[in-house]
Structure formats: C-alpha cells, structure tokens
Amino acid sequence: MALAKSFADRTFLQNIHQTLEALTDQSGKRGETYLASLAGNTVPLSSAMKAVNPDPYLREARGFVDTMLKNIPGYSETLPPSRNVFGEPIVRNIGLASTMDGDIVEAENNRIMLETGHGLSKVSPQFEGLDLRDITLATGQNAYDRLQELGAQIPGQHSLKKLLENNIRSHSYKDMPDGDPGVTGTRINRLGAVAQKYREAAMKFLLRENKELQQFVRQRQKEAQGAMIANRKQRLQGESSPARAILEAIGN
C-alpha cells in the first residue's frame, strides 16, 4: 500500500508540474504537448493499446497528432525514436523492470549528475540556423534522428560510448576532480570535450552522406550573408548622414 501511495503521490506531483509548465510556457509548445497527451488518454482503449504495442522504443513526437497517437500500434513506428544523451534509442520499460546492465559510462554520467548537478546533454538539433527536426532526408529519416544515430556510432569508428569508457578507465581521468563543466581539468569537462569532438565528426558525416542537407545549409548561409550586407549598408548610410548634413549646411 505504501509503495502504491508513493507512486500515486509522485504521479500527482508530476501532473501538477506538467500543468504549470504548460501554463507558463510563452512559446506554446509545452502547452500543445500537454493538451496532446491529455487527448491521447481519451483515445478508446489507449492504455490497452499502449500495453500491447510491439514497438520496442519510446517515440519522439513534436506535433499535436503525433503526441496524441505516439503509443498506438502501427503509428508509433512512423515516428523517430527517443534517444538518450549518447544517441541510443530508449527502450520501453514494461512494469517495474529495470534495464540497468552495469553500463560504466551511464553510471559515471549519472554519478556526476548527482554529485554536481551537471552531466552530458543531448546534441543540439540546431545547425547553421536550421532546425534539423524539421528536415526529412531522402532516405525518409529525420535529419536530427540521423545526427543522433551518428553521434552514437559513426560507421567504421569506435562508438561514442567506447571512447568515453576508455577515458573513464584511464589513470588521468581517475586523478581528475568533479566540478563545473566549464572548468578545464574536471571529469565532466573531459567527457564533454570527447562528446563534442565526436558529434562534430558526426555532423560532417551527415553532410557528406546527404547532399540535400548541404543545399539547406548553403541556402541558410546565403540568407545570412544577404542580411549582413543589408545591415552593413544601412549602418554606413546612417554613419554618413551627419557628414552629409554638414556639407549641405556649408554649401548653403
């Protein structure tokens, strides 16, 4: 009974937190997600369908319809999988079962988060002013999902987790203290630097294998260049106005 009450209290507090986030989010995105989750609960037999859904992964949903139907068998597979900070798809857990299998990298990241409040974060979906979540590649895969996938494992190279594990097991890493991620010499700074370098390589690989994405980037860069030229022209015109006024006054 105590365990059930604990779960009930936690669920109640989580619902309150989600409601407050939805009400205070000025962008409206969290509100849309919250309303979609409520609507999803009104789908007939939604709980039963979620329980029997053969899809092994949690799914990433952005729009109202996707959020509402992301647990429906047959529809969920059309959405990109939710991925952890290491780029790996998140497996759905049924019941109280745990998937912890002694992963040294995840264990160390979790330890640092508990000790310092900092940890590795997911790769950003923003690149050159583009939101990769809005781009579908020629393969049909979402560009951000592909970037995360490559951020976990670049073909022909060691995985990100393997490189992080090698660092964690090294003597130099063990000599490092915990601390702020912005301070060189701390453990989280080392792990962050390894992840950042790997993700930069993953982005380059993504651009090489997807020519259509290169076109999006070039177009965005062209727009930025045009905006910069327009701003410079406007600034120079503003700077020349006082001089022009003086010359006109002298001429008169």
Q: Domain total for the chain? A: 1
Give the dihedral sign, CA 13/61/199/126: negative
> Is residue 237 included in any domain, yes or no?
no
**Cα 20 to Cα 14, 31, 63, 68, 93, distances in angstroms:** 10, 9, 20, 20, 27
Report if residue 8 sits inside a domain: yes
The whole-number mean pLDDT for each consecutive block of 10 residues of the chain, a chain of 252 residues, reads: 48 49 55 52 52 74 70 76 94 58 88 96 94 93 97 98 98 97 97 98 97 88 78 74 59 58
Cα atoms in the 13 Å half-sphere on the side-chain side of 108: 21
Tell whether 176 is covered by a domain: no
Is 126 a member of any domain?
Answer: no
Q: Residue 129 domain-assigned? A: no
**Residue 171 located in a structural domain:** no
pLDDT of residue 77: 78
Task: With H, G, I as helix, E, B as strand and everything else as coil, classify residue 165.
Answer: helix
Q: Is the pTM of this model over 0.75?
A: no
Domain that holds residue 48: 1-79
Considering the domain boundaries, does residue 135 fall inside one?
no
Task: Please report whether residue 212 resides in a domain.
Answer: no
